[in-house]
Amino acid sequence: MDHLEFNKHTSNTYNEELEDIRNMLLNMGGMVEKQVQKAIQSLLQGNAKLAKKVIKKDLGINAMEVKIDEECTQIIAKRQPAASDLRLIIAVIKSITDLERIGDEAEKIAKSALYLITEEYSGEYFVEFEKLGNLVIKNLTMALNALARLDAEEALKVAKNDDLVDSEFEKLNNEIITYMSANPVELQKAVRLSWSSKALEKIGDHTKNICEYVIYLVKGKDVRHIDIETIKEEYF
């Protein structure tokens, strides 16, 4: 396993600063992960209180993004980082944008949950939605672990998993659309469930982006927009 060491500077303060932004990033990741879990839970269990909590908490995540960005900019200005330190900072700046947007998607799911609760949706396709949700959360957790341990191979594995998320989403969404055709009374509610599934798929995309930044961070190569199936030989 490739592993990068960042604590190599003669300045202890600099080491601490770099460690700080890594910790802040991982904290933010943990918060976002919980938001996604709770949003899905609120929808499946019809828990309006939980959904409202998720919506409120999103403000805190937004604030974290701004704070981490500021820290990164200050370190660049003050420390003039090079090589792997600079890659760490660029990877952090990029990753937090995706984390913040995963937070936004969780908020959207929580809002749909509130709608479905109010409109008393029948719960059709909740089982399949939960299955997709579990898959997305599993990938997100693995991506955050890969980020914490700077494990490029794990990150590549997770990035490749995104194809399964996409195909499961397509399947579920087609089923929901068929259901809408057959049950016009449920149509408006089923649309909301379709949106929530789309939000899960989007979370999968952002998770994949984070994996690509981990690979960039560890390997120093940019793997974005390259077909992830073909890069194994070239990069590892």
Binding test (CB under 8 A) with its own copies, winner from 45, 63, 119, 170: 63
Min separation Cβ 69 and its own copies, Å: 7
Asked if 222 interacts with its own copies (CB under 8 A), we say yes
Near its own copies by CB under 8 A, which window of 8-16, 73-81, 142-150, 160-168? 73-81
* Residue 226 DSSP class: S
Do residues 71 and 20 touch, judged by C-beta distance below 8 A?
A: yes
Cβ nearer to its own copies, comparing 28 with 47:
28
Asked if 8 interacts with its own copies (CB under 8 A), we say no
Min separation Cβ 184 and its own copies, Å: 5
- How many contiguous H segments (helices) and E segments (strands) does the chain have? 7, 0
Binding test (CB under 8 A) with its own copies, winner from 26, 44, 90, 148: 90
Cβ nearer to its own copies, comparing 41 with 173:
173
* CA–CA distance, 46 with 25 (Å, rounded to integer): 31
How many CA atoms are closer than 13 Å to the CA of 64, on its beta-carbon side? Answer: 27
Asked if 87 interacts with its own copies (CB under 8 A), we say yes
Near its own copies by CB under 8 A, which window of 143-151, 152-160, 164-172, 173-181? 173-181
Binding test (CB under 8 A) with its own copies, winner from 11, 77, 120, 229: 77
Sequence-distant (6+) residues with CB within 8 A of 213 are 91, 94, 95, 98, 147
* CA–CA distance, 21 with 219 (Å, rounded to integer): 20
Min separation Cβ 178 and its own copies, Å: 9
Q: Give per-residue burial for 165-187: e unless 16+ CB within 10 Å, then b.
A: beebbeebbebbeebbeeeeebe
**CA nearest 17: which of 77, 95, 64?**
77
C-alpha 12: how far from chain center: 32
Q: For binding to its own copies (CB under 8 A), which residues are involved?
A: 59, 62-63, 65-66, 69-70, 73, 76-77, 80-83, 86-87, 90, 93-94, 97, 177, 180-181, 184, 187-188, 191, 194, 222, 224-225
